[in-house]
Structure 1
Amino acid sequence: MNAPMGAPDTAALSGTVPDAALVRLLDHVDEGVLLCDDTGFVRYRNPAATAMLPAVHPGMPLPVNLRGRRVDLGAGQVAWYLDRADDTAAFLAATARRLGGMLNADRVCKATVELAVQSLGQAALLVVPTRRGRARCWHAAGATPVRQDQVTLAAMPAAVRDTLDGNPVAQPFLWPGGTPFLGGSATPAAWAVPILAAGGPAAALVVAELPETHLDALNDFAARVGAALEAAQLYAAQSRVAATLQESLLPEPPPPVAGLAWGTAYRPARSTMQIGGDFYGAHPISGGAMFFLGDVSGKGVDAAVLTGQVRHSLRALRRVEDDPQRLLHVLNDMLLEGVSEGRFATMVLGTAQSRPGGGLRLTLAGGGHLPPLVLRADGTVETVALRGMLVGVTDTPTFGQQSVRLEPGESCLLFTDGVTEARGGHRGDEMYGLRRLTTALAGCHAMPAPALAERVEQLTTDWLGGRDHDDIAVLAVRAAPVRTGGPRHLHSVQRGVAVS
């Protein structure tokens, strides 16, 4: 509560206390004045300063970013002269600066209460409804830190509930029975104003012991809080949508298929979300699996959407067509019909069929993509001569097809140009290249499929040396090795029994 007229508003603390004659003089000055000691604690405020900064009391430290003129009075005393005309504008400008860059609703709520207590009233409470008659609230009084609680709306005074319903009370109200939310005073006088968003009231702000001179500032403050809270809530909603989209477009792990093992690695470009234009996938078919790996034109969300279209199309088309070359033709027609001009994909599409006695027979079709590599059992690395045109560019494409035989323990490696075109090395601008990759993989034939894919990713990452990169995707298909030797068993040996 403000000190009554004639009673100097000074601190009952040890330290420098303003001279009584100086206090009486400043009581009649229209300009707001704060007297402080040289440690930065307020010792006196005149009535004009009380009206301008009601939350600042003797014994408290000076507010942060205080606007005014500082004068050293000597003898351990400092005066701050406040400009009444600029006080409201400065407060609202400070509010805009602090809340303008916040995109987290909880932080906006906490900052709202802090600002209200610092510059408007002695206590503040922000009530944000959630669901089923409950609400979250942030509150503080004086110099206490902001606290957060869960409450029921039924426990709130009628003035608060009416404000949340869009019918604010146009006068201060008394909180019946006192409340810990507003400092514990028996019957605190408070104002309740709505925090409006696009859909109507989003919250209610309650400020206790608000001087009438601050009423216009309260309404302007509430408008700025509403804009900041709406922006934070919109950002949260968009983030949830983006997370859902991201989760739906991330590559799915290949399903288990008898006779073969999968290895995958995926690293989107740094400049995009955690989704990109590279993709891979696999689906079981009769006697084996259909698999694919590729890249779409463009980057970011647009590329991710096209990636999703390609993956979902292949999921459906593999039920009606199992020949890789013909499947690429059908996919090409679908892309020409449903994708905007200038968007296309490169791809290797294949099937893996188990062979009697072990091993796999791969049928690979190429759509303008990098040729696969085959790691043979003797440690050599072969390049599959697979050619073909881009997918989704022309209605008369040519797609190449090759058959590859994998003996047990041999692997076929598919990868995107994020591997071969990774720029690094001594100067930082040299591409990794297919020849360097082939050399590095020599002798890696004994690696399990997951380790082989991770090896390619690690080689690329080491070459980049922390630099930016394009999307990287790797898919390894390995024919399951043949087990040597049967399981060992323990046999009991029956001792001979003497017969008499």
Structure 2
Amino acid sequence: MNAPTGAPDAAAPAIVALLDHVDQGVLLCDDAGTVLYRNAAAAAQLPAAHLGASMPAGLAARRVELGAGQVAWYLERANDHAAFLATTARRLGGMLNADRVCRATVELAVSSFAGSALLVLPTRRGRARCWHAAGSAPVRRDQVTLAALPAAVRDTLDGNPVAQPFLWPGGTPFLGGAPNPAAWVVPIQAAGGPAAALIVAGLTDVDLDVLQDFAQRVGTALEAAQLYALQSRVAETLQQSLLPEPPPPVGGLSWGTAYRPARSTMHIGGDFYGAHPIDDGAMFFLGDVSGKGVDAAVLTGQVRHSLRALRRVEDDPQRLLHVLNDMLLEGLESTGEGRFATMVLGTAQPRPSGGLRLTLTGGGHLPPLVLRADGTVEAVELRGMLVGVTDDPVFGRQTLHLAAGETCLLFTDGVTEARGGHRGDEMYGLRRLTTALSGCSAMPAPALAERVEQVTMDWLGGREHDDIAVFAVRAEPVRTAPRHLHSVHHTTRAAVSS
């Protein structure tokens, strides 16, 4: 046992004398958590809690107010099996980051029953990550080759399920640098086999059962963190594959897009847009699927990929929407779930003399707006039924012309139904959107889409919202090849006479 640390001036001598005769570890701290004194039992149990240090976080201790700004913390004994495991569960419970689990494991070991600790987590190609600490030193993270580890540690990582004592030949800085330290290596198991190895040295009054139960709980926390990381990577990959793609460049027109999913934790939602080149221009679309969250995102991806494939065999927007409707109905028959979408699907055909010819088909979606060159905003009369509800739908069709500098704007109900204002429950509405767009006809398509998104978010004022998608198609002036003047070389009089 370590000797008492001695009492600083801030600790009353009577209190110090009392604590010196208590065999339970006690820390005397001020209100800020600074250690003023520790008795011998606390010094042995918490070597890192020296005078002037902050009380270690996550301790299992009972608080007793002493008055005069001083607090006594009665530490749970390290050899109290149930209390220590409860402390471990509280500390590691809910951690979903493997690095934090490993750091907390080493901190718990050093602060509770070991003079030094090392956690080895194997990676690929014969290497491993390791976390280690000794005494009051902070936890450090390093890398090590598996070949440099003692045979007992390698055996544990290879699948030996039994804790065993061993000597580290020549010593190691991972365990404080002592020559040939005597240590224990404890396997940390996961569902798929050994996940890591815990090496501890300088053990206090702790038995093997405590070590093994501690390792079991660490293994559970580490497995949960690794599983969460794997699921996050899978979700990230799937979300990236479903993100809207930037529209391709097409001569005679320009695109503008804005997209903001309802949930900040997801990159995608139920709104979608896209464009694909066709022989005489481009096909474009914007829509919204039923549902929220992951289910809506999956259906969004299916609709987008279906349109990518179907436009190769059908370039008429109205007929293409009928084919898509049949596909969604087939999905309903196979899954038994009602899925539908609203959509505007169209083609843009640049005219040789300038401007665009737009052919639009509506499937139950909000009508587009057209920004004319004189600053006026017109709503396109485009009606139609929902896509994927009935086997004999009626989809509206409209043809319109955009002069150079004019824009057709498509948007989802996340814009017009955004709730905000003074009371926070008033919808933004089509009238406010039309007012915000008036006078914006000179804006490039990307800037116009960004403006619609910005005025919507300003109206929301930070409140929750539905998915928001904006898609702009702008007719660009016809670019003609520059004309060059060529000098005419005149024959000289001398050349003529000769």
One of 345, 352, 358 as aligned partner of 1:349: 345
- CA 186–78 in structure 1, closer or farther in 2 if over 3 Å, else same: farther
1:427 matched to 2:444? The reply is no
> With structure 2 as the length reference, what TM-score do the two structures score?
0.87
What is the TM-score with the length of structure 1 in the denominator? 0.87
User: Does the 8 Å contact 1:10/1:58 carry over to 2?
Assistant: no
- 2:164 alignment partner, SS class: coil
Identity of aligned residues (%): 76
Q: Is the counterpart of residue 255 in structure 1 residue 251 in structure 2?
A: no
Is 1:130 the counterpart of 2:123 in the alignment? Answer: yes
Compute the displacement of 1:452 (Å).
1.1
From 452, 468, 471, the counterpart of 1:475: 471
What residue in structure 1 maps to residue 302 of structure 2? Answer: 309
Residues 19-43 of structure 1: CA deviation (Å, up to 9, x unaligned): 9xx99x999x894355869873445
Post-superposition CA distance 1:57-77 (Å, at most 9, x none):
876856553525769799xx9
The corresponding residue for 1:204 is 197
| Paired residues, number | 481
**What letter matches 2:276 in structure 1?**
H
The 10-residue stretch of structure 1 (261-270 or 135-144) with the greater mean CA deviation from structure 2: 261-270
Q: CA distance change for structure 1 residues 18 and 348 in 2, over 3 Å: closer, same or farther?
A: closer
- Quote the Cα distance in structure 1 between the aligned partners of 2:254 and 2:35: 70
Contact 1:123–1:209 at 8 Å: present in 2 too? yes
Question: Compared with structure 1, are the counterparts of its residues 320 and 186 closer, same or farther at alpha carbon in structure 2 (3 Å cutoff)?
Answer: same
SS of 1:334 mapped into structure 2:
helix
Q: For residue 270 of structure 2, what is the amino acid of its counterpart? A: G
What does residue 6 of structure 1 align with?
Answer: none
1:155-304 map, 5 Å:
155-168=148-161, 170-211=163-204, 213-270=206-263, 273-304=266-297
**In structure 2, which of residues 370, 374, 381 is the aligned counterpart of residue 378 of structure 1?**
374
Matches within 5 A, 1:397-412: 397-412=393-408
2:24 aligned with 1:32, yes or no?
A: yes
1:367 aligns with 2:359: no
In the alignment, is the contact (CA less than 8 A) between 1:31 and 1:81 conserved in 2?
no
What is the identity, as a one-letter code, of the residue corresponding to 1:132? Answer: R
Task: Indicate how the Cα distance of structure 1 residues 281 and 367 shifts in structure 2: closer, same or farther if over 3 A, else same.
Answer: same
The alpha-carbon distance between structure 1 residues 183 and 346, as it changes in their structure 2 partners (threshold 3 A), is: same
Give the deviation of 1:464 after TM superposition.
Answer: 1.4
Separation of aligned partners in 2, 1:292 and 1:405: 17
In the other structure, the counterpart of 1:114 is: 107
SS at match of 1:292: strand
Per-residue deviation at 1:50? 7.2
Shift of 1:248: 1.1
Mapped to 2, the partners of 1:487 and 1:13 lie a distance apart of 91
* Compared CA separation, residues 490 and 207, structure 1 to 2 (3 A): farther
Q: CA deviation at 1:439?
A: 2.4
Which structure 1 segments of 5+ residues have no match? Answer: 4-8, 495-500
1:95 is matched with 88
Mean alpha-carbon deviation: is it higher for 144-153 or for 434-443? 434-443
Contact kept in structure 1, 2:370 and 2:380, CA below 8 Å:
yes
- Contact persistence 2:405–2:477 (CA under 8 A): yes
8 Å CA contact 1:138–1:147 kept in 2: the answer is yes
Question: Residue 467 and residue 82 in structure 1: after superposition, are their counterparts in 2 closer, same or farther (change >3 A)?
Answer: closer
Distance 1:170 1:463 in 2: 62
**Matches of 1:430 and 1:17 in 2, distance apart?**
62
Q: Secondary structure at the match of 1:137?
A: strand
> Match of 2:494?
none
Give per-residue Cα distances to partners, 1:155-211, cap 9 Å, x unaligned. Answer: 001111111112155432111111110011112111111111110111000110224
Letter in 1 for 2:409: L
- Residue pair 2:117, 2:175 contacting (<8 A) in 1 also: yes
Change (3 A) 1:306 1:290: same
Q: Which moved more, 1:61-70 or 1:406-415?
A: 61-70
Question: Equivalents in 1 of 2:302, 2:164: separation in Å?
Answer: 58
Q: Deviations over 1:217-252 (max 9, x none)?
A: 111111111111111101101111111111111111
CA distance in 2, matches of 1:407, 1:92: 74
* 2:492 alignment counterpart: none
Return the alpha-carbon distance in structure 2 between the equivalents of residues 107 and 157 of structure 1: 25
Letter in 2 for 1:243: E
Counterpart code for 2:131: W
SS of the residue corresponding to residue 135 of structure 1 reads strand
What value does the CA root-mean-square deviation take over the aligned residues? 3.3
Q: Could you tell me how far apart the structure 2 residues matched to 1:109 and 1:276 are?
A: 35
Aligned-pair CA distance for 1:455: 1.4
Aligned to 1:498: none
Residue 415 of structure 1 corresponds to which residue in structure 2?
Answer: 411
Residue number in structure 2 paired with 1:67 = 61
The 8 Å contact of residues 27 and 35 in structure 2, kept in 1 or not, is answered as no
CA drift at 1:356: 2.0
